[in-house]
Amino acid sequence: MPRHEVQEKTEALHIPLNPPGNGSNQSNITRSSGSSFVDAALTTVIGLTFVFIGGVAYVKWYKKNVLDKIELAFAGGYDPALELATRSSKHHEVYDRGVHGLDSGFDPEVPWTQYLRRKEQDLIDRIVHGHEESHYWVLLGPKVCKGTMIFDAMAACQAEGVSMCDAHPDLEVFRLKLGKALNFEYNEDSQTGLFQRRDPREGGPALDIERAMNKLEKVALRHNNRTGKPLVLIINNVHCFKNDEEGRNMILQLQQRAEAWSAKGILTLVFSTDHFWPFYVMRKHASRMNVVSTFDLDDKEAIRAFTKMRMDARRPPLLYANVEKIVSMLGGRLSFLSKASKSPNPVETASQLMVIEKAWLLSQIGLIPDCDDDVMDEQKWSSCSWLLLREFAKQRRETEREHAEKIASGEWTTETAPDVPLPVFPYVPQWKCRQIMTRADFLEELDRKNIIAIDVNHNVRPDSMLILHAAIEVTEEEGFDELLSSVRNRVDEIESLHRTRELTFKDVDVGDCIRLTVDKGGARLVQD
């Protein structure tokens, strides 16, 4: 029987496909153009259009998300810097407050700062809470609890509208610290690299920080429109920037923003510094800058603070006379009082701190008799420094003598004046320090080494009571004045030798004469 070709599968069977709904009204979009090139071009255009629209939408969303994240950094509640500062262990053991006749009247479970409110605290509270507009602030002074006052103010408002970061000598590190404080990633978490956008970090840390300031300005405007209050950004330890062109430029960059933002009332910048040189840099361009100088606690405040800190350390209370003795040695510097309060024998610890401070001071500016010319510059600085410290010691002894005379004469008695004023902490105006030291450029190095402190009134004083006691002990040692004079004379001799020129004549026999003429009118002869 003959077979058909299709049955033998020697010929392809063509059957037209007509799916349901695919009649003569088919859209032209789904039809093939009949050209592979045109089809590929259409597919590419459609794909690029979707990529472009998606990229634009992503960039717009990312920019909005960046602003939202920065605003979240100023929201109340958890703040990294505040959390670290306020975290403390809880104690449950309570000592007898009447032991040794010293009734402190403190609650052991309450931080000591709640019982000692410094006079600057009210102003700092208003600044941190956003009530001081149209100005930016500089907190100037040695290590005297500036950070504690700031954290207390932040805790009172739960860090609402406040953020804080620390300065650093390396601007790359400061860039990261500022980014953490602002919750800003500097576009490092962006996926715009898919669209071949340039890496934003190519400009260096200064340009990155400027970008962060631009974003912060937008957030501050948005926050001010909604709440009517400025944001507060605190830059702590500004003195940690290097005192070179790069560091000064960074301070200027931040100050320019502070001037503009304070004029608009949208953001208040607060700079905190232990040293005086940042104030010099900022004063040149300042028009809305206010300065707050902070000092050590006075003796009454220091006694109260020491008593509460010792209770917080779970140590037994001391006799009031011993507390007075400790405060007279350490002064009102809280870092020293804290070390003594936690010690089993605080009087011995205070004495040890004095010995250590004296040894450190001598290691920094100790005098070297008959010094070599290699250390001439260092000894010149040391000898001039001791001239200033000797003046501090003289003032201290003079005020102590006047204090003793008034008590002996009956002008000050425990009946008429229970709170007898103690001797004033000595200080010397900065212009007079230049005269005493005979140099104008040595004060900055002393300030950097925390040997002296300069306030906003340009008064110079010892950095702490320990420095003052060490200076008094050294300057009152036998033979100190002679040692200081000999070192200064030695420096003068070396400088004189450096200014002397030696002439050597060769091929001169015995009995030969050399005639040397010094003519200071040579220039006039040439002109004639």
pLDDT tens per residue across span 228-270: 999 999 999 999 999 999 999 999 999 999 999 999 999 999 9
Q: Are residues 284 and 300 in the same domain?
A: no
Q: Are residues 130 and 269 in the same domain?
A: yes
- pLDDT at position 382: 93
Q: Are residues 242 and 126 in the same domain?
A: yes
Going by C-alpha positions, the residue among 103, 375, 67 that lies closest to residue 217 is: 67
* Alpha helix ranges (H) inside 320-463: 320-330, 334-341, 346-365, 376-408, 430-437, 443-448
Contact present, 293 and 140 (Cβ < 8 Å): yes
Q: Are residues 264 and 313 in the same domain?
A: no
Q: Are residues 440 and 333 in the same domain?
A: no
Secondary structure letter of residue 494 according to DSSP:
H
CATH of the domain at 170: 3.40.50.300
100 part of a folded domain: no
Six-digit token string for 29: 């979009």
Q: Are residues 152 and 275 in the same domain?
A: yes
- pLDDT at position 377: 86
Nearest-angstrom CA–CA distance, 218 and 208: 16
- pLDDT at position 414: 53
pTM of the full structure:
0.79
The domain total for the chain is 3
Full residue range of the structural domain in which residue 325 is found: 296-358
* Residue ranges for the chain with pLDDT beneath 50: 1, 4-8, 13, 17, 23-24, 26-30, 89-104, 417-418, 526, 528
The answer for residues whose C-beta is within 8 angstroms of residue 319's C-beta and 6 or more apart is: 100, 101, 102
Going by C-alpha positions, the residue among 280, 269, 251, 238 that lies closest to residue 135 is: 269
- pLDDT at position 95: 42
Nearest-angstrom CA–CA distance, 304 and 106: 10
Q: Are residues 436 and 395 in the same domain?
A: yes
- pLDDT at position 186: 83
56 part of a folded domain: no
- pLDDT at position 330: 92
53 part of a folded domain: no
Q: Are residues 371 and 346 in the same domain?
A: no
Q: Are residues 229 and 139 in the same domain?
A: yes
Nearest-angstrom CA–CA distance, 471 and 426: 12
254 part of a folded domain: yes
Q: Are residues 349 and 456 in the same domain?
A: no
- CB neighbour burial string for 488-524, b if at least 16 within 10 angstroms, e if fewer: bebbeebeeeeeeeeeeeeeeeeeeeeeeeeeeeeee
- pLDDT at position 356: 96
